[in-house]
Homo-oligomer: A and B are copies of this chain.
Amino acid sequence: MDTTTFSALAEPNRLRIVELLQGGPMTVGEIADHTELRQPQASKHLRVLLEAGLVEVEAAANRRNYKLRMEPFQALDSWLDTYRNIWNERFDNLDNYLKQLQAKNNKQNES
């Protein structure tokens, strides 16, 4: 995992844009409207997202439709695999501990 996806998403306005694009492709103007960003800054942030591979553009005459790319999110997803293992492991340990505790209690109650 390299850090470009993280840096792209580390900027609040860009994260906002990404979440906006969940609803489908959008035009620069629409994005600017929904984010209180001026058009130039919207363009700039979209450029960063584009270079990070988080979005792609399709030119339609005057307009540009920006759309989410799924690859980076899928990469994130598999990056998380390792951590899922870790937290499952920890959960199993806790689980075992609780079971042992319960077994112990049962034994006491028997006597």
Give per-residue flags for A72-111: 1 if the beta carbon is below 8 A from chain B beta carbons, else 0: 0110110010111011001000000000000000000000
Task: Evaluate contact between A3 and B15: CB separation under 8 angstroms.
Answer: yes
B82 touches A70 (CB 8 A): no
Give the number of chain A interface residues (Cβ < 8 Å).
25
Q: Give the residues in chain B near A1, CB-CB below 8 Å.
A: 15, 19
List the B residue with the shortest CB-CB distance to A21: B86
Q: Chain A at the B interface: mostly helix, strand, loop or mixed?
A: helix
In the complex, what residue of chain B is closest to A22 when comparing beta carbons? B82
Q: A9 near B: Cβ within 8 Å?
A: yes
Chain B residues within an 8 Å CB radius of A83: 22, 68, 70, 73, 77
Q: Chain B residues near A15: list those with CB within 8 A.
A: 1, 3, 6
Using a CB–CB cutoff of 8 Å, the interface residues on chain A facing chain B are 1-3, 6-7, 9-12, 15, 19, 22, 68, 70, 73-74, 76-77, 80, 82-84, 86-87, 90
